[in-house]
Homo-oligomer: A and B are copies of this chain.
Amino acid sequence: MVSLKTAAVAGAVADEAGAATGPSPDELRLLDAYWRASNYLSVGQIYLLDNPLLREPLKREHIKPRLLGHWGTSPGLNMLYVHLNRVIKRDDLNMIYVIGPGHGGPSLVAHAYLEGTYSEFYPNISQDAEGMQRLFKQFSFPGGIPSHVAPETPGSIHEGGELGYALSHAYGAAFDNPDLIVACVVGDGEAETGPLATGWHGNKFLNPARDGCVLPILHLNGYKIANPCYLARIPRDELQKYLEGMGYKPYFVEGHEPEEVHRELAEALDTIVAEIKDIWAEARQNGNLKRPAWPMIVFRTPKGWTCPAEIDGKKCEDYWRSHQVPMGDMDKPEHIHILEQWMKSYRPEELFDENGRLRPELAALAPTGRRRMSDNPHANGGVLLRDLKMPDFRDYGVEVPSPGATTAESARVMGKFLRDVMKENLGDKNFRLFSPDENNSNRWQDVLEVTNRCYMAEIYPEDDHLSPDGRIMEVLSEHQCQGWLEGYLLTGRHGFFSCYEAFIHIIDSMFNQHAKWLKVCNEIHWRRPIASLNYFLSSHVWRQDHNGFSHQDPGFIDHVVNKKAEVVRVYLPPDANTLLSVTDHCLRSRNYVNVVVAGKQPAPQWLTMSEAVRHCAMGLGIWEWASSDRGSEPDVVMACCGDVPTLETLAAVQLLREHLPDLKVRVINVVNLMKLQPASEHPHGLSDRDFDALFTRDKPIIFAFHGYPWLIHRLTYRRTNHKNLHVRGYKEEGTTTTPFDMVVLNDLDRFHLVGDVIDRLPQLGARAAYFKQAIQAKLIEHRQYIEEHGDDMPSISGWKWGVRGTDAGKGATSTEGDNA
């Protein structure tokens, strides 16, 4: 078959104490046979339509017309799988397998099949020749399964299509799973990505007493799609320093000769498993919580290992050409011959019995039942998921004797509720909060009363609520927060991610992948629902006080609504009580992505608790106390969505009341953004009849929106009255300025809103001319005032609902204590 260079290999293994003596030659032969079986099945999936056991000579019609998939990574993944099985079985370990290069789908499917899990989940793919034929055919085939380690693959929590998140997912899975080992393969190409490069540092947050263990395996197969990987092209000692510098103890397993690599890998794993147990024991029995140097493996083996060394005179094995389908053009008889030889080099007749079933002495190598990595319940987290214990969110409500009478910081109120959610579930160890160094900035500091921030690096006496057993995960990486949370949820737990609104775009693409995962899971009968991925976006576009233009972007929700309606939910609660109700709802929901946007600054409160509950249940509704059209048709509908736009709308309504008392104004507040979509587009969508009743069929609608105005048009373009809809929102105007100036710069302020009303009601006629001039004068006064004083006019910052004119007191706009 293939030429294999003999490599000089030195594993740092022999000197480790306490390890088992390693596998016998017989056992090694069996392991190799199992490896060959999985390699055989991997190649078969990529190439074959039929003749699965090659019992007849291979012909063109046995081969797929379109060859799709990836071979290069698979043999390495396969060898690792076989050896992990060995230690799982021997020591009854609880282990799952996260593979970064998720294009290695053929490998994981092959193992699930060899272990029997695949046939249990998909009886049609039976463990016999017919089933094997179906297994081969279905791969990357219409009506079959995708090429990656997708939700369809038993044992997977990580699709790995978009590279970079393997370690973050692995750490998320290991948190609060004290006996779980997450073996995590990192592609050497993947290792070049940003998220992966910081993913290593998850070890600064993994507590050996409370959490399980991540076993990173850097798969140094040398190549990515069409290039070498730099970690494979730096001197060995540089690589070793890199890994040690990130706090690991690397074991190098390197070679081209399978026999030698089998032996080395087995020995390394023996040592490593013993070491992991020692670390756990040291932490759990001796209470030593010093951050250990966790073991890891550097697995340097050829890409495409065991495929033809050259094809058509071109280097293939141990080269990037083996990445996808090493050989195409299967109309060429020589190629058919090469494929046949290649597959036969695995000696299928030794591996599968006459029925096409894996021979029993090989099948006996795999663990059984839920110890199989393909059937580990942690990889189907929904089966482990338990509801959170929930305090009654109504108990945290803000007293609102009349609309606007109370001031509160919504985010802080939410934090109090989360504190008690945290408290009630401390014992269950199934709830964590995640934030890129913004937990307090986003006003969740009260949670620190019942738990700490998790930290495994050095802690100083002056440190503020840091400890190894904290449940608030703060690291300055949105990627890590997202990846950890995903890993935590996918293994059956709960969480919330708080982030600056603008910077959540950093994980746009990770959100995509998770939303796609959920969408597919909804279609797979055996995938059980998991807790929703919850975002709290604060420090939002309208109140970026210390910062400026770079921190202003409300577009994450635009991004979110492109994903399947079944999995996305967007809430913009206008005050603290609505935020509480929404928070409660998010923590109880399943299989969604919930995006909640709300501010953290002191702001007027509008609804009592019971009004808030009703309002959130409806998702949107008329605010009767603010409206003046009861019993008649409105002249204009003032709609608002988001806390700041709600404030500006109410201020505009008040101006209209004062100056145009006859005008009939209807005020509608939207808390559940998806209500605006047609019912045919989103399960929350309002019926057209209800929409028409609320927004009228023909009256002007002035819509003050938190985000980019086009989003409202995109959601409502099919509605009857869309032609009369006029939306104000963020239009990329901003800088470091006063809160009110931010809305003015974007024409979302009360004065512009009033102007919009006047412009759309010709019936107001000449009457309105004076009023319009007065509001223009106000805007000029505003600009002059802030450029002189650096703060908003007292009539603005001190404005109160129901209090006339400019005699309201000065409000608080200073936020210098923001990070205190």
Contacts and interface: CB of A to CB of B under 8 A. Distances in A.
A230 interface: yes
Given A466-B228, A547-B147, A736-B68, A233 B787 contact: no
A791 B226 contact: no
A548 B147 contact: yes
A432 interface: no
B458 A234 contact: yes
Interface stretch (A409-417, A474-482, A609-617, A668-676): A474-482
Contacts of A238: 244-245, 247
A392 to B, nearest CB: 30
Contacts of A819: 225-226, 320-321, 323-324
A558 to B, nearest CB: 6
B225 A441 contact: yes
Nearest to A554: B562
Given A319-B462, A562-B558, A546 B717 contact: no
B441 A142 contact: no
Contacts of A460: 228
A759 to B, nearest CB: 15
A46 to B, nearest CB: 9
Interface string A449-466: 000010101111011101
Contacts of A548: 140, 146-148, 150, 161
Given A142-B786, A227-B474, A559 B555 contact: yes
A323 B710 CA distance: 37
A503 B509 contact: yes
A451 to B, nearest CB: 15
A559 B766 CA distance: 43
Contact of A546 (B68, B476, B713): B68
A545 B66 contact: yes
Nearest to A503: B162
Interface in A792-820: 813-820
Contact of A228 (B69, B70, B201, B457): B457
A271 B813 CA distance: 49
Contacts of A199: 194
A505 B509 contact: yes
A140 B737 CA distance: 7
Contacts of A327: 816
A562 B729 CA distance: 12
A297 to B, nearest CB: 17
Q: Which of A558, A711, A783 has the most CB of B within 10 A?
A: A558
A5 interface: no
Interface residues of A, number: 141
A732 B476 contact: no
A499 to B, nearest CB: 11
Interface in A668-707: none
A477 B198 CA distance: 13
A437 interface: yes
Contacts of A817: 328-329
B228 A438 contact: no
A728 to B, nearest CB: 15
Contacts of A192: 198, 201, 475-477, 480
Interface string A122-153: 00000000000000010011111111101000
Interface in A492-526: 502-503, 505-506, 508-509, 512-513, 516, 519-520
A486 interface: no
B67 A816 contact: yes
A65 B476 contact: no
A551 interface: yes
A204 interface: yes
Nearest to A556: B508
Given A463-B228, A477-B194, A790 B64 contact: yes
B69 A546 contact: yes
A474 B512 CA distance: 24
Contacts of A816: 66-68, 324-325, 327-329
Contacts of A145: 736
B547 A224 contact: no
Contact of A226 (B234, B464, B545): B464
Interface in A740-799: 741, 783, 786-787, 789-791
Copies of this chain in the oligomer: 2
Interface string A588-617: 000000000000000000000000000000
Contacts of A198: 192-194, 196-198
Contacts of A230: 201, 204, 457, 475
A517 to B, nearest CB: 8
Secondary structure call for the A interface: loop
Contacts of A813: 66
A738 to B, nearest CB: 6
Interface in A312-339: 315, 319-321, 323-325, 327-329
Contact of A562 (B325, B509, B549, B710): B710
A54 interface: no
B457 A233 contact: yes
Contacts of A88: none
Contact of A189 (B228, B476, B713): B476
Nearest to A445: B226
Nearest to A708: B562
A714 interface: yes
Contact of A70 (B241, B503, B546, B558): B546
A144 B815 CA distance: 18
A519 B548 CA distance: 14
B550 A161 contact: yes
Q: Which of A163, A710, A791 has the most CB of B within 10 A?
A: A710
Nearest to A146: B548
B547 A148 contact: yes
A119 interface: no
A790 B315 contact: no
A7 to B, nearest CB: 14
A566 to B, nearest CB: 10
Contact of A790 (B49, B162, B438): B49
A278 to B, nearest CB: 20
B226 A440 contact: yes
A397 B182 CA distance: 53
A464 B736 CA distance: 50
Nearest to A331: B814
Contacts of A245: 238-246
Contacts of A503: 162, 509
Nearest to A565: B732
A68 B460 CA distance: 29
Interface string A9-24: 0000000000000000
Contact of A162 (B65, B246, B506): B506
A520 B325 CA distance: 48
Q: Which 5 A-B pairs have the closest CB atoms?
A: A242-B245, A161-B550, A194-B194, A328-B816, A241-B245
12 contacts: A65-B789, A65-B791, A67-B814, A141-B737, A145-B736, A162-B506, A192-B476, A194-B477, A204-B233, A204-B234, A240-B245, A324-B546
Given A192-B198, A229-B476, A513-B550, 11 more contacts: A147-B546, A147-B548, A162-B502, A196-B198, A197-B197, A204-B234, A224-B476, A228-B457, A244-B245, A321-B820, A506-B509
